[in-house]
Amino acid sequence: MSEIESNIRHLRVLNSPIRLQILTYLRAFGSRTVSEIAEWIGIEDHLLYYHLGQLAKAEFVEIDGTRPGATKPETIYRAKKRLRVAGPYSQNEVWRKDVAKNVAQVLRIAAREYESALEAYPETASETCSLHRMTARLTSARRAELRQKINELADWIRENEDESGDSYTATFVVSNLAKRTNVVWENDSRRTANRRE
């Protein structure tokens, strides 16, 4: 299997909101059982086994032992590796589509996490939650510098994790601002018109 095929396979595994939530939970709270993961996500245990199998097959999670359960031992899972969506694959249409799907899933989950944090911690939300969206014109050199700084920030976050601290999530998306296609504009116009009716 080529590198691009392997990366596409990994992206497809992550194109599931349930799998992304499993990884978020395991990275934030460490090794957990299926019942603990299911309770946090809010679904039944038996619905997780397929997703955990897919994540394990792609080496995103692994078994970290067992713990005594009510009737039988419970398997404990932990997050194994991270995937940075990057690579010289922009000419591959399959890669582009899978990256776009993954970005959409990640942003939907980030929005839910943000909303949940605002509801759960209204007194401290202004200190613990932040949203930054900006548009800037950058030279290719400055764009490369921005990418490097984001990678350094991600590394800094990982290096400074502390078991005694609170769990946070951070999502970074940087993209060129491209002219939208007529199809998208037409769909937006229809949605706006439908809202007015």
- Fold for 3-130, please state it: Arc Repressor Mutant, subunit A (1.10.10)
pLDDT of residue 58: 87
pLDDT of residue 32: 94
Q: What is the pLDDT of residues 80-122, one digit of tens each?
A: 866 555 555 666 787 778 778 888 888 888 888 888 889 988 8
Q: What is the pLDDT of residues 51-91, one digit of tens each?
A: 999 999 988 999 999 998 888 899 999 998 665 555 556 66
Whether the Cβ atoms of residue 148 and residue 170 lie closer than 8 Å to each other: no
Whether the Cβ atoms of residue 107 and residue 171 lie closer than 8 Å to each other: yes
Output Rg (C-alpha) for the chain, integer angstroms: 20
User: Quick count: other Cβ atoms within 10 Å of Cβ 102?
Assistant: 20
pLDDT of residue 87: 55
Q: Which amino acid is at 113?
A: E
What are the boundaries of each domain within the chain?
Answer: 3-130
Give 39-90 as a DSSP string.
HHHTS-GGGTHHHHHHHHHTTSEEEEEEE--SSSPEEEEEE--------S-T
